[in-house]
Amino acid sequence: MIGGRRLLGVRWHRYKAIPRRLAEIEFGHREQPAYRPFYRFMRQPTAVEGVRRLKVENDPDLAWQIFDRVAWTNMDVQPDGRFYHAMLMCCKRCMPGKAPAVLDVAIRRDVPVDDDLFSAFIDGCSTASPPLVSVVLERYSKYGPRSHRVMSNVARFCRQARQPSAALFLLSDALSNDVLVSDRLLSTLAACCAEAQCPEAADTADHLLDLIRSKRISSHRNARVFVDLAETFLSQKRLDRIVPMLDVMESEGVPVPPRLYATLLSSFAEHDRVSEGLFVFQKMVDPGPGEISALIAAAGRCLELSALVSLHQHVQEKVDDELASALIVAYSDCDRLDLAERVFHDRCNVGAPGRATFNAVLDAYARHGLHQQALATFGQLKSAPVKSNQKTLALLLRSSSYAADLAGANAILHEFARTWDVRPNQEGTKYMIDLYGKAGDLDAAEKLATTPELRLSLLVAIGKHRDLARAERVFATIRSLKNAEPDLVTAYMVMMDLYAAVDRLRDVEHLRDELSARPVAEVPVRAMLLLDDRTVRFVSGDVDQDPILGDAHATMLQKLEGNGYNANLSVVTRKTSSGEEARRLVTRHACKLAVAYGLVTLPTDAPVVIACTQRMCADCHDAMKRLSALSKREIRIRDAVRHHRFYAGLCSCSDEW
């Protein structure tokens, strides 16, 4: 108490003199020589002596008594910022939770809050558990000096407290108060952006990059700053900011660390940003085979044939098994099996290929439905010093499945078990289920379906035989599993197609409503069309993305309907307001948009080559067969399952996919 008052919830004592008995009660000490100087100070306090004592005091009770005595005693020389600074440093050592109370007393006593005092306050709050971030930010907003030192300390404090996003506002605060963004402050803010990993951090990183590019702030040629900015952009998938950032680094004379190049290349490859990845690749001095392989795979997925050829030319002299396998799969994805085979032959000419290269060739032949070529490659593998593995077996079973060769698949199973003691993994088992389904042995297929993914394969096989009772039983099992979310959409589509086939349209609507109500993320379906000089991308529903596309799509639909085409509405997976809306959704699938555009832009003797990110629906498959006959053109589509070649009204998959 001070004159009968309480201050900040702490009991304070007024000292005129400290009798021996009161000292014993208050401090638990008898009159010991070591404490006599303390008692004398409490009877006759001075600010200078208070500072000296607080600098060495580590007892929180005694420190508070000293602070109270000096702060609230009318003295000729009142304590200034040095006294409160010493008390805040004492708070840092032994009572961090009291630092806000000390600053508040200083403010009430009209002590100026300068850089030293506020920085000491931050230090005092930093050792609290947890650190007093909200308190520091609140006091900063009211009393904090807008200086470089204080802003740097606030940013450092937020970062150390693992709340880096709380410091992001300091960039705008520094700019509005004309505070120099030094190397120290810039580094801390960039690190906060990288560690925050939120949209606001990406906005701040973007702002920093623009400020550096416009010369409003200096980059200080600090490569670590750009590494942190890149990490921020990548975490928020703002890959379009990476190339401008590299341009700024070049203009600033900041060398790009090799590890950053590798990270950027891998990220561009992961997100199928082939052109940006190629830009980074061409700037790298010695890219690793892992990063190159990832970019090669992305070029194949995206039908970026010109980029793929360019990458192949860059690595032609050092093609090992890792690069060879990546090139084979990528050329296969681009529907250039001839180039994939050439890579394989070139690899064979320099020595026996490894297992990865053989598996890549098997994968290419299997996806293209070339079963005999796959078996011939397997024969070549057996004569090489290479041991087959579960992936090799799965690829051969896939090839057998696409060829409906159950007897051959069983022979392969026995050979792998006998020769290499290799049994099928889940992927291989999936193809065996498909094979048994094609053979009509649904009982054998059902015995193999022990996981949600395998049950989905079983459901697809059942759907082809219209065994409604069995399908309903398997579907009920899939629907009840918590970990079956990735397979739900396909499972619902199979059941809706089954119900539509037997004219149970009410059940189709019920399943569509049920699926719409489930928290299943709907991934937009994309398609890519390979032209002579570029690749064009399409998204389902976006018929207005190109002036040519609208008319081409309308013309294509008119020809289809004249040929007897009627949209299969059972493939619509979400609830619609009308049949017309459902029809519009189906007829604007990405595959149809890509084909419509290709038919009017490609030469009449050129095949239409398309890649689709998901399994082709039954309606698109039917439409492609009709279009191949109507246009007398070959249409080649790679979906998520396999390659389809449509010509003269037929498909190479024999309607099994």
The residue ranges of every structural domain in the chain are: 1-145, 442-517, 526-651
At 366 the pLDDT is: 95
Residue 583 CA to residue 500 CA, distance in Å, equals: 15
Q: How far apart are CA 101 and CA 521, in angstroms?
A: 50
Q: Which amino acid appears at position 328 of this protein?
A: I
Model confidence at 486, pLDDT cuts 50, 70, 90, reads low
Predicted pLDDT of residue 599: 95
Q: Residue 8's pLDDT is what?
A: 41
CB distance 309 to 327 below 8 Å: no
pLDDT at 385 over 60: yes
How long a stretch of residues is the chain? 657
Query: Which residues have CB under 8 Å from 187's CB, separation 6+?
Result: 222, 224, 225, 228
| Alpha-carbon gap, residue 416 to 58, rounded angstroms | 75
Cα 202 to its chain centre, rounded Å, is 14
Query: 572-594, pLDDT tens digit by residue?
Result: 767 777 878 888 888 999 999 99
Closest by alpha carbon to 596, among 624, 570, 566? 624
pLDDT at 556: 95
pLDDT of residue 628: 95
pLDDT at residue 35 in the model: 66
Angle between helix 274-283 and helix 289-301 axes, rounded to 10 deg: 150
What pLDDT sits at residue 650? 94
Band of residue 635 on the pLDDT scale cut at 50, 70, 90: very high
Tell me the pLDDT band of 4, cut-offs 50, 70 and 90: very low
pLDDT band at 234 (very low <50, low <70, confident <90, very high): very high
Asked whether 442 and 436 are in contact (CB, 8 A), the reply is yes
Rounded to 5 degrees, φ, ψ at 287 are -65, 145
Q: Which of 157, 107, 117, 160 is nearest to 135 (CA)?
A: 157
| 201 or 605: which leads in pLDDT | 201
Segment 530-543 shows an average pLDDT of 89
pLDDT at 19: 42
In degrees and rounded to multiples of 5, residue 370 shows phi and psi of -100, 80
How many percent of the chain have pLDDT more than 90? Answer: 64
Would you tell me the crossing angle of helices 590-601 and 618-631 to the nearest 10 degrees? 10
pLDDT of residue 1: 36
The predicted structure's pLDDT at residue 20: 44
Query: pLDDT class for 483, splitting at 50, 70, 90?
Result: low
Q: What is the pLDDT of residue 288?
A: 83
> What pLDDT, in 10s, does the model give residues 179-212?
999 999 999 999 999 999 999 999 999 999 999 9
Indicate the residue type of 400.
S
- Give the integer Cα–Cα distance in Å for 131 and 124: 9
Average pLDDT, the chain: 88
Which residues have a Cβ under 8 Å from the Cβ of 172 and sit 6 or more positions away?
none
Q: What's the pLDDT at 30?
A: 44
**pTM higher than the cut 0.95:** no
pLDDT band at 522 (very low <50, low <70, confident <90, very high): low
pLDDT tens-digit map of 245-298: 999 999 999 999 988 999 999 999 988 899 999 999 988 877 888 889 999 999
pLDDT digits (tens, 9 = 90+) for 545-571: 888 999 999 999 999 999 999 988 877
Give the number of other Cβ atoms within 10 Å of residue 419's Cβ: 11
Token representation of residue 225: 């700053």
Q: Say whether pLDDT at 401 is over 50.
A: yes
Q: Residue 532, SS3?
A: coil
pLDDT band at 404 (very low <50, low <70, confident <90, very high): very high
Please tell me the least confidently modeled range out of 244-248, 340-344, 497-501, 636-640.
497-501
Closest Cα to residue 526, out of 236, 271, 199?
271
Q: Is 310 exposed, middle or buried (0-12, 13-18, 19+ CB in 10 A)?
A: middle
Mean pLDDT, residues 349-370: 94
* pLDDT digits 0-9 by tens, 69-90: 888 877 666 889 999 999 999 9
The pLDDT of residue 171 is 97
Using only the alpha carbons of the chain, give its radius of gyration.
36
pLDDT of residue 32: 59
Q: How far apart are CA 642 and CA 657, in angstroms?
A: 7
Q: Under DSSP, is residue 222 helix (H, G, I), strand (E, B) or coil?
A: coil
Digit-coded pLDDT (tens) for 89-105:
999 998 888 999 999 99
